[in-house]
C-alpha cells in the first residue's frame, strides 16, 4: 500500500497530509453499528500501516460507534497518531442531527470522547458550529470557546479547532485562543472557502475539508471523468490530488469502510496534476 510522504503541521505536530475520516465506519446514515465490524477494524489498521497519522472522528458518529471501533482496533495508540474529534452535535433516536452546543453539553461531549476512545487527553477538539445544522451561519462562539478553554486548562484537550464556521467566527476565535485547524465543507465543486484557505495558509494553520469527495452525493463531472481516464486514475483520486495541490495547508480525511477504497485514496498522494489539467479542473466549480 502507498506510503504517504507529504506532511503539514496540525497543532504542534507534523502529520501526513492524507489522513482518515472515520464517519463511514458507522452504519447507514452514520447511525448504528457497521454491517461488518471486522472489515471496519481492518480499514483502521490498514491505514495506520500505510502511514495515516491523522484520524478524524466524533462521538456523535453512531453515536459512539466510531470511537469504540477506533479504540478496539488501535489502542494502545501509536505515539505519533493524532485523533481529532468534533463536539457540538448529538443524535436523536431516529438518527437526526441536533445541536448540543451549551457549555455543559460540550463538557459532557469531551468526557464521552475521552472515555470511548480510551484517552486521558484529546489532541484536537473541533467545535462544530450549530447555529445552522447544515452550513455555516454567523453568531458569536464566545460561550462555547470559553468552555473549551476551561477544559484545556484542566488538561483534557491540547488544541482547539473549528468546524462549520465563517471567516468572521475564525477571527473571533483567534482573539480568544490559538486555533489549530478549521474543518469546513470544501471540494472540487464547492469552493466557498477559497479566501479562508489562503488566509489560514499564510498563518500556518491547517485547513481540513470535510466531504472532500462530495459527501453523501459523490462528485459528478464529465470533465473530472475525462481527466481521470487520461491519467489512468479514478475520478476520486483526481479530486483528492487537486485538493493536495490546491494549498499546502490542506489536510485530507477521506472516509471509507472499504480496504480497497482506502488504498485508492492513499494512492492519490502520488498523482501529480499538470497546469493544463489543473486548468480543466479549476473550471468545474467556477
Find residue 32's DSSP bridge partners: none
Q: For 222-259, what is the HEC assignment?
A: HHHHHHHHHHCCCHHHHHHHHHHHHCCCECECCECCCH
Mode of pairing for the β-strands spanning 13-16 and 157-163: unpaired
Spatial distance between the Cα atoms of 107 and 101, rounded to a whole number of angstroms: 10
> Catalytic residue positions?
61
Phi, psi of 130 (to 5 degrees): -125, 25
Spatial distance between the Cα atoms of 148 and 140, rounded to a whole number of angstroms: 14
Find residue 124's DSSP bridge partners: 84, 159
Amino acid at each position: 500500500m502507498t506510503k504517504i510522504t507529504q506532511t503539514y503541521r496540525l497543532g504542534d505536530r507534523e502529520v501526513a497530509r492524507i489522513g482518515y475520516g472515520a464517519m463511514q465506519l458507522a452504519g447507514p446514515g452514520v447511525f448504528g453499528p457497521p454491517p461488518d465490524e471486522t472489515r471496519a477494524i481492518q480499514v483502521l489498521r490498514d491505514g495506520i500501516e500505510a502511514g495515516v497519522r491523522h484520524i478524524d472522528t466524533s462521538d456523535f458518529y453512531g453515536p459512539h460507534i466510531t470511537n469504540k471501533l477506533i479504540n478496539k482496533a488501535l489502542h494502545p495508540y501509536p505515539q505519533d497518531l493524532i485523533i481529532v474529534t468534533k463536539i457540538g452535535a448529538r443524535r436523536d433516536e431516529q438518527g437526526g442531527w441536533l445541536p448540543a452546543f451549551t457549555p455543559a453539553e460540550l463538557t459532557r461531549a469531551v468526557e464521552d470522547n475521552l472515555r470511548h476512545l480510551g484517552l486521558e487527553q484529546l489532541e484536537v477538539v473541533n467545535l462544530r458550529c450549530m447555529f445552522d445544522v447544515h452550513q455555516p451561519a454567523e453568531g458569536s462562539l464566545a460561550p462555547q470557546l470559553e468552555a473549551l478553554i476551561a477544559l484545556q486548562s484542566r488538561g483534557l484537550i491540547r488544541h482547539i479547532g473549528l468546524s462549520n464556521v465563517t471567516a468572521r467566527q475564525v477571527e473571533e476565535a483567534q482573539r480568544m485562543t490559538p486555533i489549530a485547524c478549521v474543518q469546513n465543507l470544501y471540494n472540487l465543486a464547492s469552493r466557498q472557502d477559497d479566501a479562508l484557505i489562503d488566509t489560514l495558509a499564510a498563518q500556518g494553520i491547517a485547513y481540513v475539508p470535510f466531504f472532500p469527495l462530495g459527501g453523501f452525493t459523490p462528485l459528478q463531472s464529465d470533465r473530472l471523468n475525462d481527466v481521470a481516464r487520461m491519467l489512468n486514475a479514478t475520478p476520486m483520486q483526481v479530486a483528492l490530488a487537486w485538493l493536495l495541490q490546491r494549498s499546502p495547508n490542506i489536510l485530507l480525511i477521506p472516509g471509507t469502510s472499504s480496504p480497497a477504497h482506502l488504498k485508492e485514496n492513499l494512492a492519490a498522494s502520488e498523482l501529480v496534476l499538470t497546469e493544463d489539467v489543473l486548468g480543466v479542473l479549476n473550471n468545474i466549480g467556477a
